[in-house]
Amino acid sequence: MLLHIPEVFTKAEVKALRRTLDAGPWADGNMTSGHQSATAKRNQQLPEDSAQAREVSALVVQALNANPMFVSAALPHTIFPPLFNRYEGGGEFGAHVDNAIRQRDGHRIRSDLSATLFLSEPEDYDGGELIIEEMYGAQSVKLPAGDLVLYPSKSLHRVTPVTRGARVSSFMWLQSLIRDDADRETLFRLDVAIQRVNLDKGPKDAAVIELTGVYHNLLRRWSEV
């Protein structure tokens, strides 16, 4: 499932984040590349141990954990510390699949989901579309600053060349409580339906209570904790 999550950060918050990030020590983006990615990647990245990256990374995780749509869709077990990249001057990232396992500071996660948080407005740069191969074909994603796209890490994806301006974003991986993509999507759609019925009939309605029970029983059956 590919999901657009709007307004993880407000425009004012994005500006504050960018002031911190733009002052950072940007370097060659291949510092975190796997073997496959290193041959396809041309961008800059903020070193993960820099003060700027650590500060903004913590704010991104805090915002994601407070975002109901993200939590419902991702059911996060562990969010790998978000990283930051910048594409300009023809920079691009060719077709690749993210590594299955990510490791940092002795912590290891399975990458079930990938996410890109856009930190540049789409009109500020040309190109830079995130192309994600889905069951129904390639999806082109270029979102407003502060919005995020969430998608399965197993998806083949790429970033088209940026021919004007600069595309700055945060990218991350996470291990979900629900390993299977189809099961995770089922739970998300069920949660959305429950919320709609709840708004219409109220939390004490018999249907809301029964559907909520089904949701938690499925979560209990499928989750890995």
Known binding residues are: 96, 98, 157, 167
Kind and range of the H or E element at 191?
helix 181-201
Sheet holding 137-141, edge to edge: 41-42, 92-96, 157-159, 130-134, 137-141
Phi and psi (nearest 5°) for 94? -65, 175
Between CA 129 and CA 18 the distance in angstroms is 20
Q: Count Cβ atoms below 10 Å from residue 20 Cβ, excluding itself.
A: 16
Residues making up the binding site for 2-oxoglutarate: 167
Annotation: binding site for Fe cation: 96, 98, 157
Tokens of 209: 């209570």
- Phi/psi at 89 (nearest 5 deg)? 55, 40
CB 83 within 8 A of CB 170: yes
Cα–Cα distance for residue pair 141/130, rounded to 1 Å? 5
